[in-house]
Amino acid sequence: MCIRDRANTGSIRRAKVDMPSPRSGEAPLAITALRIDLQDPAISLTSTGRAPGWTNNTIETTSQTTRQFITSSRSNNLPVVAAINTAPFDLITANQLQSVPTNIRGFAVSEGQLVSSTDYNGDTFKSTFLYDSITGARIEDMRSNITGSLANQPYAAPASEVTLASTLKVATSGFGIVLNNGQVTGNTTLQNARSGLGLSADRRYLTLVAVDRQPNASQPSGWQGATDFDMGQILFDFGATNGMLLDGGGSTQLAWWNGSLAQAELLSNPLFERYVGSSLGVTYRPVS
């Protein structure tokens, strides 16, 4: 199935716009978004699974680009038609253009199996997107009840998290909630490429958003793009009531499957394709 055949229909809609920057004298924000109707019975979600030799909080996933995630999923009979990069991960710059075992940050689940426990390193990565086929999608502020630093140390996943994972199809964490019951929040200064996701008030529509970046030496980050606050506003403008920030910068990638060419293609415009720790995929199986 070619996702282009479903673009701008009731199930999957694409928007690609240049939004005027909220800051004077700056170039427009280059935005790509997909809106997914989660009530369509043909649509479901999936995400990056465990790496071979999985060890909680040390070796959790194998890095790949989001396009590779789409292609590899389809080769395993998971008809992924679109995907976005998701969780922050332990980035080693020298390895960002190759597939390596990595540790992703925050709570993550794939097909009912725990991939990553909640982080206990100052509780930074606590905004979490959760999805199951019964209750649907939601965004939660998942806080740990364990104190102390366990950075990059293997430890047994808490039984409560293993149990929660078994009830879920997908979970992924991010850098923070930027839209809370219609209220936009987040840092208003630091700009970069950004990835985010949002949910409508009735949790029917999932919006995936990527904002591109361009070099700008006058900015503290060295880049001109979107702030955290910008992402919250963008998600709100696309109809979301709640939204969260995913991994961004060089990790930002939004892609879909082009059935006519039988290949995955980028929708966003990253400067290069980093191998990221995890991706969230949209699957489409026609209901007979």
- How high is the pLDDT of residue 72? 97
Of the listed ranges 114-123, 132-141, 147-156, 168-177, the least confidently predicted one is 147-156
What's the pLDDT tens digit per position in 33-61?
Answer: 999 999 999 999 999 999 999 999 899 99
Alpha-carbon distance of 133 to 210, in angstroms, equals 25
What's CA 155's distance to the chain center, in Å? Answer: 25
Q: Check pLDDT > 70 for residue 272.
A: yes
- How high is the pLDDT of residue 146? 61
- How high is the pLDDT of residue 166? 97
- How high is the pLDDT of residue 121? 58
Residues of the chain above pLDDT 90, percent: 75
Residue range 90-106: average pLDDT? 93
Q: pTM (2 decimals)? A: 0.93
Residue range 228-232: average pLDDT? 97
- How high is the pLDDT of residue 119? 75
The DSSP code sequence of the chain is: --GGGTTTSSSEEEEEEEEPPSSTT-PPEEEEEEEEETTSTTEEEEE--PPTT-BTTTB-EE-B-HHHHHHHHHHTT--EEEEEE-S-B---GGGTTS--EE-B-S-EEETTEEEEPPP-SSS---EEEEEETTTEEEEEE---S--S--TT---PPPHHHHHHHHT-SEEEEESEEEEETTEE-S-SS--B-EEEEEE-TTS-EEEEEEE--EE-TTSTTSEESB-HHHHHHHHHHTT-SEEEE-S-GGG--EEEEETTTTEEEESS--SS---BS-EEEEEE----
Residue range 148-152: average pLDDT? 59
Query: How far is residue 71 from each of residues 31, 32, 156, 210, measured CA to CA in Å?
Result: 24, 21, 32, 20
| Average pLDDT for the chain | 90
Q: What is the largest CA-CA distance in the chain?
A: 56
- How high is the pLDDT of residue 4? 42
What's the pLDDT tens digit per position in 197-217?
Answer: 999 999 999 999 999 998 787
Of the listed ranges 96-105, 140-149, 152-161, 222-231, the least confidently predicted one is 140-149
